[in-house]
Amino acid sequence: MSILDLAPVVPVVVIDRVETAVPLARALVAGGLPAIEVTLRTSCALEAIGRIAAEVPEAFVGAGTVRTPADVAASADAGARFLVSPGATPALLDAMAGSGVPFLPGAATASEVMALVERGLTELKFFPAVPAGGVAYLKALGGPLPDVRFCPTGGIRPETAADFLALPNVGAVGGTWLTPADALASGDYARVEKLAAEAAALRG
């Protein structure tokens, strides 16, 4: 099973208040997006992953912004079922591979992609997707590197997601638009569910 096949969109969520973790995960799952990437950018991220893993079993919760071997260990201990990194280093790749947890390492250039393919990795995050060159760039990478599938993330909006998903080398896209900060602040999980349902419908 690949993370890229769970849903067309992987919500990237930044959780500032751990109490929001479970209701927002339930809303995303109810909308049809079970794979949820919780970024390790906030102090409660690991606790949020743990709560979602324990209380929302139908979610497939992972850790994002995984940058170091210590992040890998902490994420796995918290219950992350996948790991996403913005880029890749040899030490990080060794740790992710050794963890036994599925992972999507980040790459943005042909050389970076080729280095990962040398390690047997063919499912990658393309980051930062839009600033790096967007749909045209990813399409061009697919010419010489057709065996690699990507989860482009960074700058993707609901109105541009379908263009990425139309590429043969895109399995899913990531983005933060499913969980607007004001919706989380006001507890408007119905809005999160609606945004998730619209995203889930992007690829039939």
Ligand X SMILES: O=C(O)C(=O)C[C@H](O)[C@H](O)COP(=O)(O)O
Which residues sit at the interface with ligand X, rule CB under 6 A? Answer: 12, 39, 41, 64-65, 86, 127, 153-156, 174-176
Nearest distance in Å: CB 36, ligand X = 12
Which residue's CB is nearer to ligand X, number 23 or number 155?
Answer: 155
The answer to whether the CB of 101 falls within 8 A of the CB of 82 is: yes
Which run of H or of E encompasses 136?
Answer: helix 134-142
Candidate list 123, 125, 193, 198, residue with the active-site label:
125
In the complex, least distance from residue 142 CB atom to ligand X, rounded to whole angstroms: 20
Annotation says 55 is catalytic: no
Task: Specify whether 112 is catalytic.
Answer: no
Q: How far is the CB of 66 from ligand X (least distance, A)?
A: 8
Out of 19, 37, 55, 139, pick the active-site residue.
37
Nearer CB in complex with ligand X: 105/154: 154
Q: Residue 203 CB, nearest distance to ligand X (Å)?
A: 18
State both tokens at 180.
């607007």
Q: Which is nearer to ligand X, 129 or 141 (CB)?
A: 129
Q: How far is the CB of 169 from ligand X (least distance, A)?
A: 18
Judged by beta carbon, residue 143 or residue 200, the one nearer ligand X is 200
Q: Three-state secondary structure along the chain?
A: CCHHHCCCEEEEECCCCHHHHHHHHHHHHHHCCCEEEEECCCCCHHHHHHHHHHHCCCCEEEEECCCCHHHHHHHHHHCCCCEECCCCCHHHHHHHHHHCCCEECEECCHHHHHHHHHCCCCEEEECCHHHHCHHHHHHHHHCCCCCCEEEEECCCCHHHHHHHHCCCCECCEEECCCCCHHHHHHCCHHHHHHHHHHHHCCCC
Nearer to ligand X, 59 or 173 (CB): 173
Give catalytic residues, as residue numbers: 37, 125
